[in-house]
Structure 1
Amino acid sequence: MISSSSPAIGPDGTVYIGSGSGALFALGHVTLPSPPRNLQATTGDGYVNLSWEPPEDDGGSPITEYRIYKSNSSGDEAFLVSVGKKLYYNDTNVTNGRTYSYFVTAANRLGESPASNEVRATPITVPTAPVNLQAISGDGYVNLSWDPPEDDGGSPVIKYVIYRGNISGYEAYLATVSNVLCYTDTSVINGETYYYYVTAVNDAGEGPNSTEVSATPLSVPSAPRNLRATSGDGYVNLSWDPPENDGGSPVTGYRIYRRTSSTNETLLAVVEDVYYYNDTTVVNGQKYYYSVTAVNDVGEGPFSTKASATPEAMPSDMSQKTPGGAHLRGPFFRCPC
């Protein structure tokens, strides 16, 4: 039965309008709207933004509202919200990394349109910082290692970015690696301190900095230079110059090694940071071979070049008595007449 209110829509969608005498006159035919067009979804950190265009055909009656449907799986959407006549909606009731399906319908006085195109969206954000960054240094390198972020932001980590500086807090880009958890920096100088942090990157972008770590690459010293040996009666005097390179750590001492032609080289003595040693544990007439190494906090460096010497007793004719009986040690030379 058609209502006598003016205007009225019949069951078949015909619009009627009443006259003053109570008669109804048909004005036209109303249909359901066509679907909203061009539904699109953009995502961000904790949201899905939906937008669409009005239907091509409102069915002969103005659009009164748009209805949004949502699901965690395609084809199983349920009513989410009505947004009136707006052409957009921001869904913040989402979880990063989870995929959602949406469609929209339009409604007029007759009813609800068919569904729009379906869209799927996965809200994501950048990863949190890598954790447990560590630096281990050696001779000409710094080894970095870290653990992945606690939260990948809903999108897998695809790479890591390493930053380095010579001053804490002033790091600059150093390198990018794929989804691995280590990096070896060989562009370093022994003895210099370096500061590092690492970031993680996913499809949403680059995350925050890890904690900062520092490392100072070191090595053992190079060999002492210019080893010299001079001998006398019951002694061999050794002297040398320091290494050209202390390995980035100050030399703390030297080790003296000795051998003869019939014995193996053995450690003779350890001295502090001095450049000489007097060996008095020798036998006159025996030839001795010496080498020296330098030591720092990292360890012992390579051998110096060898030096040799043969201690000799002073010849007997080098000693003469004075008239008072005292011995003088020569040599003595006769003055020409």
Structure 2
Amino acid sequence: MMFGIESRLPNQRLITIVLASLFISSLLILTASNNAFASGSQPGSCSNEYDGPITNATVTVGGQTYYPLKNSVSFQLANDKLYTLSFTIHTPSQDLQGNSLPGTVWYRTNYQGFGNGVCQSGAGPNQDFIISGNFGHSDSNAPAGSFTDEWSTTVTGFSYTINWVNASPQNLQATAGNSQINLTWSAPSNNDIYPPTNYKIYRSTSSGTETLLTTLGNVNSYTDTPVINGQAYYYYVTAGNPYGDSPASNEVSATPSNGSSSTAPQPPTGLKATTVSPSQINLIWTAPTNNGGSAITGYQIQRSSDGGLSWPTLVSNTNSAVTTYSDTGLSPGINYGYRVSAINSVGGGAPSNSASATTPSISLDASFEDCCYGDIQVIYSVQNPIQGVDQAQLQIYAPNGTLVINQAGPLTYDQDAYSIKRAEGKGNYSVIATYDNSLTAKISLPSLINNDPVVDFGIVEERSDGSVGINGRVENGLAAEQVSIGIIDPNKSTTATYTVTTSTHAIYEIEINSTTAKQVFPQSGTYTIVVTHIPTGVQGKTVLTYTIPPTGLTATQNGNWNDPATWGGASPPITINSGDTVTIPAGITVTIPSSVAISNTGTITNSGTISNSGTITNSGTINSGTISNSGTISGSDQFKSALTSITNTGTITDPVTIPNTTLSSSYAVSFPVIVPSGVTLAINSGVTLTINSGASVSNSGYLKNLGTISNSGTLRNLGYFGNGGTITNNSGQRRYYH
């Protein structure tokens, strides 16, 4: 054995010491005594001794590496093989005498030949001192087949267990006879230490594909009979002991023969394989045209399930000249290959062509749909179906044992097969897909209702217009089940009860509009919302603090109409209901963006400025201060504003009723204007009132003109008209009734 020691200083070249040792049991014998370090050095007895921990250890067997410092290590090895051991001792900065001189490390082992305690030179301070070598079977391990080797310093240690098995049997030979083959072999090396307890014979009709034929005792020969004359057979042997089997012996082959002048038959022809059921394939072939001069007495059938890589024998001899065979008991979804050899008195001939067929298989998946609580989605598929068998059967059993689905269907299926019922009970649904009455796939699917339902709440809220939305979900509920939603006022009286049907995901939902909310929530306060799952009676409760919306709202600062900050943090009055009043005080400007549409059936009182780029649909009253309009103001009711307070570049279709007005500068009217009874519209000298096309001025009061009226729209007088100026009627109309 070669044994190497490596010592490495930081930033220093590797130093390697190689020792040669002969491990011969007659030379080194450990004596039994109370001294654990007999025939070896005791710790502390080495010159300039550095005692350090073992920081790394590896055992390499073939291509496998083990780490005995980290894990428990046990491996099997033939007693004529070697393994590699390497471990590292990290030395301290000083030896046991407090020096930093070159010195030794100490370690111990129970491995034969080391004298137990070892002083190893070549060490120094702060080194990774590596000890490595190739190790084999030690005679001191005998006769036990399992031995634990130990290695340690005064600080740390490790061990590993080797299960020694026999070396390979030697000199395997095969001698052919008539329908038999005789095998002989020699015992493994070291047979005197480890006599094998058994031998195993492996056989095949092709090289490298042998499988176990038989297990023998501690013998050195075997006769394989009967075998087919003319067929080549391949063998190898292993030796076994209680700790495992040896590596394989050499491989041998032999071909038995009866010694006659006849020859083996030619191969059969036209082999075909046909699947007839999920577990059966039928074979048919044609007898050889040349039987070799001797009648065909049977056929050997080989079957491959690995694509022809190996051809194990299925039937060694049919003992019949019949040219058909049924292979039964097959597994589903496997491609089976076959070949056939004819047998006569000489033996077996070469194999026929190969033929293959695949047995059917069926896959099945079942789950509850994400979209529709309670719907079972079934997906199945039949692969490699039998010709002429083109349907599968689907069955579903409820937890209470009821067969709820029993239907024939196509070979490929992907549908919502069934909606479960709460009355079918808790437990599992059995989903079964069957093909050809024999191939079955089954899934056990836990019911969605195995756990009791729980009523959850999602949105429970009052909106800015006083409407209310309530929704939630029934956990462990089903789609299309009913829930009741009760609303209880602060006085513990029920104001309303709604019954709704759950949608997908067992969701319930109601919307209570602002008009209905006035009856359901007649007062401000805390209301209790009770949701009852009707099929089970399970309830959930929550509360809603409801505040009756104010009937008036006042702007508190300049800003956009749809910004709550404009209204002191209140919800913006996008919809102004009948009886509600929105007030814009003097000195405040409220801007309506183009994206905002206001619906007014109440009253907008403006003493400040409304800058409109959006839409105001007015069916109520607008008492306006200043309006700068580039959007749309429409409606059919009252819009009251000083005439010169409106700057319009958009559209105003709602008639504007003006108060007493004296124009001291020219003004263009682009919308309908009403001068009501008792009100005077005066136009000073040098001032022009322009009535644009599409606009109108309807006077039921007093229209006093000392300047110029330029009319391209409509001038309608139902009151008094005092004209001391000029009226230019362009393309407009004048109607005078007084």
TM-score, with length taken from structure 2: 0.23
Counting strand residues as a fraction of each chain, which structure ranks higher? Answer: 2
| Rg larger in structure | 2
Q: Which protein, 1 or 2, shows the higher relative CO under an 8 Å CA cutoff with sep ≥ 6?
A: 1
